[in-house]
Every structure is written in C-alpha cells, then in structure tokens.
Amino acid sequence: MTAVPVRSDRQIADAFLAATLPARLVDLRVQIGSVLPDVVRVGIFLVDDEQARLTHWADSEGRVRPCPPGVASLPDNPALSRCGALGCAQTPFVRLDPALEWAADGRTCPLVVLPVSRLRRFYGFLVVEADPAVVLPTWDVRQLLTWGRIATGLLAQGIEAIHALIGATRFALDFTLMRDRETGEHQLRLRDYIRVLTEELSAAHGLSDEFIAELTLFGPLHDIGKVGIPDAILLKPGRFERDEWEHMKEHVIMGRRMVERLVDNFDLQDIPGIRTLHAVVAHHHERLDGSGYPEGIHGDAIPLAARIVSTADIFDALTCLRSYKRPWSLDDAFAQIEALAGDKLDLECVRAMVCARPRIEAVWRRHACAPAAD
C-alpha cells in the first residue's frame, strides 16, 4: 500500500506561506535591481522560531523548496544565527553557512542577509544575491542595506496578513470540530484527499505549487457556512424533510458571506489564496450539468478548485458512516464516482482519483471511522 505522508497543520500553513512569496520577491528584485543592477536574485528563509529551524526557501526565480534536514538547523548556520540574535544585517561573508550555500546552488553568492521581523515576531531572513564574481563597492553596499531594510518591512507586513488569514481558518476549523464532530472529521479527511488529487492533477496539468498549497489549506473550509445552521437540522439523526433540506442548502450562502466578512474585516483582499477560498466555499455543490446549487452554473464556469473539492467531498460522503446510511465499500464508491464523471463531476478529477487509488485508500484507512459494508 502506498503511504501518504502525514503533514501537520503547521507544515501545511508553512507550505502555503512559502508558496505565496515568489511573486512578492520578484517585485523586490525588480525594485532593488533598478538601483543596483548587480543584484540577480532575492530570496527568503522562513523560520520556525520555536524549533530554531529553517522551514522553507523561496526566491524571485519562482523556486519554493523545503529546507532539507542537513541545513535546516539554525544553530548550524552561524551567520544566520547572528543575524537573528542581533537583529542586524550580515555582510560580507568569509564562509557561507550550509543553508546559504545550499540555496545559492553554486550559481549565486549572498551579498547581504537581513532579519525579517516586526513587533518582536521573527519570520525569517531576506537574502540578496549577486553573481559570485561581483564585489560591491562600499557605497553600493550601503544603498543595498537601505533598500533591504525597506524590503524586510514590506515582507513582514505581508507575512503578518497571511498569518492572520491562516489563524482565521484554523479557528473556523476548530470551531466546526467542537460543534459537530462529523463535519470536523470530514474536513480532516478531505484535506488529505485534496492533497492527493492536486498532486496527481499537477503531474498531468502543471498545477502550481501555490495552487496546491492554497487548496490543501482552504479546501477543508468548504462547509464553513454550516456553523449558521441550527443544531436541530445540522445534528438531526436521519434524513432531512424537504424544508429542512432547503434550509441546509443555505450553508453555501452563509459560508460565502462569512468569507466576504473575513476579507473585509481583516483587509485581506490582496492576499494570495482568497479567490481559491471563495471558490470552494461558494461552488463546491455545483455540478457539471448545472443541476447543483446555489447558482446552477455548469462546466468550466465552475472553478477548478471547486471541482476538485466536489470530487473528494462526494467520495468521502459515500465511504463514511452517516446517521441514515452505512458506508459504501471502496469498490462501490469508486464505481459510483466513475459513473458520475463527465456528468456531475469533472472527468479529469475523477481520472486523477482513480489513478491515485492506492494513495486514496491509504488516506481512507488512516481516517476510517467505521467498517464499510461489503
């Protein structure tokens, strides 16, 4: 059986944050390069301050990489450690830290490293790089330090906003789990199914790391609007009456309004991932043939993020115990998903699920709450 590595909430959040940074770093590289043309790349190490560990490297060339164990320990990187402890820039470098050498990959050389922090919160290190043969005169180094300090302030503000969004999503997930354990556990299973589907689709369709990180983080929030549904309906042990079902369907509208308020209250309009969050909350019950709700849109009008979540959502509903039904066997559930392909569900999403069946089954077994009916 193919194993699916288990990732913690912190790892998922770190991956999302790292995936949002290259676009910001490209802008910084252009701004600094307009004054100092010798600057060829800027990057950032993200830090888990509690663990004294580097988590990810992201740079203006679009690379986002987890830091390998051999270079991730902050105490093993003396220049970075000094930079963080003293809160000041490090330049020049007589000998590169293992992490700096790994990030440079023999193609660049760090000119300066600056701490990225704000209001006593430490987020990482900004690294400004040039060609290894470049030696900047003192005046250019001073200019670089000035630009770098401005850049770290802007980066810290952007990271804070993303942390606010991540914190809000964690609160929403925790609140849902406390109120309705079935919905909360469904969210946890869905997160892993979504990760498998996006990675499988990425191999064939080139989904970006940023999109995968966004959907893994925000996909489980698709049912956030259920917090507005009365307990008498949400927790009813059995099938809904017609009027109860109509009321239950309103969770999509409620969820969309919650996302809009979240964005407005925290000024998150420009944060990466907001469109993905809105798409999965607003459209996860739409169907390809237009028979879904609340808008009845169809085909490609349904965002890809919502089509992926819908496929995972229906599979999970089939294979898990409900108060009104036994769980389906895996064979029956896969057969049903394939029967819905191209009509209700996205054909490519279903194909991805079938191709990744060993990984999907591994997720199901890890989270299984009751034996399936054979």
Asked whether the predicted pLDDT for residue 292 surpasses 70, the reply is yes
Interval 17-56: pLDDT, tens: 888 899 889 999 998 888 888 899 999 999 987 878 999 9
As annotated, the residues of the chain forming the CATH 1.10.3210.10 domain(s) are 180-367
Cis amide bond preceding 78, omega within 30: no
What is the residue whose two structure tokens read 């990271």?
159
Cis amide bond preceding 294, omega within 30: yes
Q: What does the alpha-carbon distance between residue 327 and residue 220 come to, in Å, rounded to a whole number?
A: 20
- Which two tokens mark 29? 């590289």
Interval 106-144: pLDDT, tens: 888 888 899 999 887 899 999 999 888 877 777 787 888
CA 132 to chain centre: 34
Which are the contacts of 208, defined by CB distance < 8 A and separation ≥ 6? 19
CATH (residue range 180-367): 1.10.3210.10
Interval 257-283: pLDDT, tens: 989 988 887 777 777 788 999 999 999
Q: Which of 374, 299, 286 is nearest to 333 (CA)?
A: 374
| pLDDT of 369 | 55
One-letter amino acid identity for 259? V
Cβ(78)–Cβ(71) below 8 Å: no
Asked whether the predicted pLDDT for residue 7 surpasses 70, the reply is no
Interval 157-200: pLDDT, tens: 888 888 888 887 777 777 777 776 676 678 888 999 999 999 99
Cβ(177)–Cβ(227) below 8 Å: no
Model confidence at 253, in pLDDT bands (50, 70, 90)? very high
Q: Which of 49, 110, 109 is nearest to 81 (CA)?
A: 49
| pLDDT of 373 | 43
Average pLDDT, the chain: 87
Q: What does the alpha-carbon distance between residue 10 and residue 46 come to, in Å, rounded to a whole number?
A: 13
Strand partners, 121: 118
Cβ(109)–Cβ(130) below 8 Å: yes
Which pairing describes strands 53-59 and 64-66: parallel, antiparallel, or unpaired? antiparallel
| pLDDT of 91 | 75
Strand partners, 53: 48, 73
| pLDDT of 372 | 46
| pLDDT of 126 | 95
Strand partners, 173: none
Topology at the third CATH level for domain 9-160: Beta-Lactamase (3.30.450)
Burial environment of residue 329 by CB neighbours within 10 A (0 to 12, 13 to 18, 19 or more) = middle
As annotated, the residues of the chain forming the CATH 3.30.450.40 domain(s) are 9-160
